[in-house]
Structure 1
Amino acid sequence: MAHSKEMTRIGVIGAGPSGMSLLYHLAKMELEGKHIPDVVCYEKQPECGGLWNFDWRTGVDEHGEPIHGSMYRHLWTNGPKECLEFPDYTFDKHFGKAIPSFPTRKVVLDYMNGRWKTVDARRFFRVNTNVQKVIYNPKENNFTVWARDQVEDKDLPLETFSHIIVSTGHFSVPNMPYFKGVETFPGRVLHSHDFRDARDFKGKRLLVIGSSYSAEDISLHCVKFGAKSIVCSTRSGPMGFKWPVQIQERPLLERIEGQMVYFNDGSSTEVDTIIYCTGYKHSFRFLPDNLRLKTENSLYPPNLYKGIIWIKSGNNKLMYIGMQDQYYTMTMFDAQSFWACRVILGETILPEKETMEADIARWIQKLENATSTVQEIDFQTEYVMDLCHDSGYEHNLDVKDMFNHWEETKIENITTYRDHVYKSKFTGTVSCKHHKPFMAALDDRYEDL
């Protein structure tokens, strides 16, 4: 596929970690002397950082838009920072000292902002700007974007782009399954998307529905801050952790009668609050059907070549960054963004559509053969390394051994896995221990490293 001589102009939707990685690499390439296209990044929040920004509100914002973020107070990373460390901007470089392997949200956001500032990646984006609609124009082989300035409450002039990068994330639109009787429950019912502070549930008896990362983490945080008891209801079987005495597991919820909740095994209990930790839906309302990714949460979503290029429409110029279910996070987004930049600049040439379809099918078959956590980690490691090899990304991002150890420590004791320390792959620095064990550390201030 020959590199197009047409005008290249990039529209990026979303300035979270995925979108900012793409902006970072473009800015870095420009500093290295390369000519880069005109770039506009639309961000509907007042700041970059995506879900890592804490918004105390739930429901809608001051502009009538749904609150994007699902971040809650006192969040610590649930994976070692050494597994998300940028090779060209290490934690050592940013902080100038060793810090714990499981930092709080504020520490991670500060670290990411430090990297983006090194190349002034912020100059590309427009905050408080909400993309309303994107269409592909086949005759012109480009895209038209409708956007709205939320502060001024006005539509912006239409803009045209040769490429569109969708980096809006997929942890914003809650999946809320129905359970018989939930509408009559007298207590509070919420989704983890609207969970903000575990202290709200001190002394409460909770039902947590789900077996995802949010279910395990919210359960631990609520116990940490004084919840009386928690029952975790799971569809796919027990999570298999060594829980504190306040937490127990039950099979899937069957029905609700008053404050009594009944499970598929015939057991029941009384609760004060129900928290849905049932995941999120991929939602791209600004895209028409022919451009819209439709998928369950997956390590390899369909119809995306290299997990990035949308092959159903858009002449390979619509790209999605960060849409996978994740073990790898920041570094995977970084590898995807670098690969996407190389394609846009014509330095990586795409094969014919049939070859791309066959490659997608090959990866999906690999994923179907991955039936354990270890195999899933191996799968995503192979995917990330494939991107690096294909694009010439110069760093080795393989941290599967750390991920496997992390998973082992969680199984050993879910309350203590964050007390472990890890060694940076890129500097060799061993992290320091936090001055308090995780279950006793109640301060989320940036200074409380």
Structure 2
Amino acid sequence: MPHFSRVAVIGAGAGGLVSARELSREGHHVVVFERNTQIGGTWVYSPKIESDPLGVDPDRTRIHSSLFKSLRTNIPRELMGVRDFPFVPREGEDRDPRRFPSHTEVLKYLEDFANEFGVYKFVRFGTEVVFAGLEENGKWRIEFRCENGDVDYEIFDAVVVCVGLYSQPRVAEIPGIDRWPGEQVHSHNYRDPERFRGKVVVLIGYSSSGTDISLELIGVAKEIHIVWRSPKTELLDRESVISNVSFHPMIESVCKDGTVVFQDGCVVLADVILHCTGYNYHFPFLETNGNVTVDDNRVGPLYKHVFPPALAPGLSFVGLPFKVIPFPLFELQSNWVAGVLSKRIALPSKEEMLADVKAFYEDLEALGKPKHRTHLLGDYMMPTYCNWLATTCGCPPYEEWRKKMNISVHLYRMPNLKTYRDDWHDDELIHQAYEEFSKV
């Protein structure tokens, strides 16, 4: 017999919205707690920055958004949408029809999704979860702060954590940084290039935010020195010749005279160190009595990045993997959670799940992957993971055109950072995508 639960979803970003839909479709009673006054999570842009631009002061004023003003997606819209609600261009003066649209268009898509599937009725705005813990009777106590400042609580059968990954900055460890007199900023607090005009900037990290921000700084900053673990390519060397960009290995140390010393022996007098170094998983509200920990950004132990074996199925996480196509991933993960809670899908035993997690960690160690990359899937692992979820849930497999398009865009992006959003060469895959969309 199916079992229907009262489920608390924490966060009304994309993960929370998709989870709410999947849970409600399954028949569960859903309450989504959202501390802000609108849906969208990290896709809600704010021009404000935190009082600590580095984002490490625990008493800083906190801003949830990590978007910079001109941000466009680095994933084409064909891949971004959930599978039964494609992210296709829509009519309207304030809509962005581009294949790689602005952040405002992504937010509008999420609003369209919430309207289409009636998700708004599940969301309680202005309610910040301050505690989530297991009661002796096996229920979950959720304490939340209301807009008027009062703290109240309710009891639930299960909790789904959907708080995202882009609000708690992760910063590089730099020898001597305490005595360095320059300014430090994390990309979480980057909005536009003007504050860096005429300055010598050391930018750490060259993944998604690092590449986009470095391109914005060209012609604005006096010099840009990019610190990157990977070796330089010929193309990047050519780029540095025709611009004010230099590439370096990691920072060796910094000095009180304002200089930055790189491992290649190069020394520069810098004004700003800009950390494009990612984020830490952060669940300050969650009490699990040690059953779930965050160790060097590994949230664990988690079976398949979702269920902690000791607390399953009452506690689950949707949206932890990174370097993924997020919305379709959320759809499959939350479908799995919904099915497990209704007993449509059976989980392995606690012992079997722990053994699977142990084997997974051993595989990562054998490959030389550090703990903080535990939840990194990437372009090549995501289809395998999604197909496992799809098979487990009884959903259609991850489409081959999605896999091919994702890899095609990834391979084209790096040598064409300035142009890949407006010039592409996968029209046949786009045609396949829209043929599939026409069947929805």
The TM-score bracket by the shorter chain reads: 0.7 to 0.9
CA contact (8 A) 1:297 1:325 kept: no
- Residue 164 of structure 2 aligns to a residue whose secondary structure is coil
- Residue 15 of structure 1 aligns to a residue whose secondary structure is coil
Q: Note the alpha carbon deviations across 1:359-417, whole angstroms, 9 max, x for none.
A: 33455566567789x99422221001110111122363452211221222123232222
- Aligned match of 2:43: 52
Q: Distance in 1 between matches of 2:377 and 2:319?
A: 20
CA contact (8 A) 1:85 1:331 kept: yes
Distance 1:195 1:241, change over 3 A: farther
When normalised by structure 1's length, the TM-score is 0.83
Q: How many Å apart are 1:202 and its aligned residue?
A: 2.8
Distance 1:166 1:239, change over 3 A: farther
Which of 420, 424, 427 in structure 1 is aligned with 2:434? 427
When normalised by structure 2's length, the TM-score is 0.84
Q: Distance in 1 between matches of 2:5 and 2:377?
A: 40
Q: Which runs of 5+ in 2 are unaligned?
A: 53-58, 370-375
Which of 361, 378, 381 in structure 1 is aligned with 2:380? 378
Please tell me whether residue 389 in structure 1 is matched to residue 391 in structure 2. Answer: yes
- Aligned match of 1:415: 418
Q: How many Å apart are 1:273 and its aligned residue?
A: 1.8
CA contact (8 A) 1:241 1:414 kept: no
Distance 1:182 1:425, change over 3 A: farther
Query: Mean Cα displacement is larger for which, 63-72 or 38-47?
Result: 63-72
Q: Note the alpha carbon deviations across 1:164-196, whole angstroms, 9 max, x for none.
A: 000101221112234244344444311111111
Please tell me whether residue 228 in structure 1 is matched to residue 222 in structure 2. Answer: yes
2:65 counterpart letter in structure 1:
G
Q: Distance in 1 between matches of 2:133 and 2:105?
A: 38
Q: Distance in 1 between matches of 2:201 and 2:419?
A: 22
Which of 160, 177, 197 in structure 1 is aligned with 2:172? 177
Please tell me whether residue 70 in structure 1 is matched to residue 66 in structure 2. Answer: yes
- Residue 208 of structure 1 aligns to a residue whose secondary structure is strand
Q: Distance in 2 between matches of 1:400 and 1:394?
A: 14
1:78 counterpart letter in structure 2:
N
**Aligned 1:336-375 pairs, distance under 5 A:** 336-364=333-361
- Aligned match of 2:191: 196
- Aligned match of 1:9: 6
Identity %: 27
**Aligned 1:54-203 pairs, distance under 5 A:** 54-59=45-50, 66-92=62-88, 94-95=90-91, 99-137=97-135, 139-149=136-146, 151-156=147-152, 158-203=153-198
Q: How many Å apart are 1:229 and its aligned residue?
A: 2.3
2:88 counterpart letter in structure 1:
D
Q: Distance in 2 between matches of 1:114 and 1:222?
A: 34
2:8 counterpart letter in structure 1:
G
Query: Mean Cα displacement is larger for which, 41-50 or 83-92?
Result: 83-92
Q: CA RMSD in A?
A: 3.1
Q: Distance in 1 between matches of 2:89 and 2:128?
A: 34
- Residue 304 of structure 1 aligns to a residue whose secondary structure is coil
Q: Distance in 1 between matches of 2:130 and 2:387?
A: 35
Q: Distance in 1 between matches of 2:367 and 2:174?
A: 31
- Aligned match of 1:41: 32
CA contact (8 A) 1:72 1:196 kept: yes
CA contact (8 A) 2:204 2:273 kept: yes
Aligned residues: 413
- Aligned match of 2:246: 248
Q: How many Å apart are 1:309 and its aligned residue?
A: 1.0
Which of 296, 300, 303 in structure 1 is aligned with 2:301? 303
Distance 1:220 1:175, change over 3 A: same
Q: Note the alpha carbon deviations across 1:182-237, whole angstroms, 9 max, x for none.
A: 344444311111111123323332110123322222112222x6333211113454
Q: Distance in 2 between matches of 1:121 and 1:93?
A: 21
Q: Note the alpha carbon deviations across 1:115-162, whole angstroms, 9 max, x for none.
A: 12101101111112111111112x41111111101x211112x21111
Q: Note the alpha carbon deviations across 1:268-293, whole angstroms, 9 max, x for none.
A: 11222211112211111111242534
- Aligned match of 1:435: none
- Aligned match of 2:205: 210
1:179 counterpart letter in structure 2:
I
- Residue 322 of structure 2 aligns to a residue whose secondary structure is coil
2:421 counterpart letter in structure 1:
R
- Aligned match of 1:442: none
Q: Distance in 2 between matches of 1:183 and 1:412?
A: 37
- Residue 305 of structure 1 aligns to a residue whose secondary structure is coil
Which of 194, 214, 217 in structure 2 is aligned with 1:219? 214
Q: Distance in 1 between matches of 2:112 and 2:418?
A: 31
- Aligned match of 2:270: 271
- Aligned match of 2:403: 400
- Residue 286 of structure 2 aligns to a residue whose secondary structure is coil
Q: How many Å apart are 1:306 and its aligned residue?
A: 2.7
- Aligned match of 1:19: 16
Q: Distance in 2 between matches of 1:395 and 1:164?
A: 27
- Aligned match of 1:260: 259
- Residue 419 of structure 1 aligns to a residue whose secondary structure is coil
CA contact (8 A) 1:207 1:273 kept: yes
Q: How many Å apart are 1:101 and its aligned residue?
A: 2.1
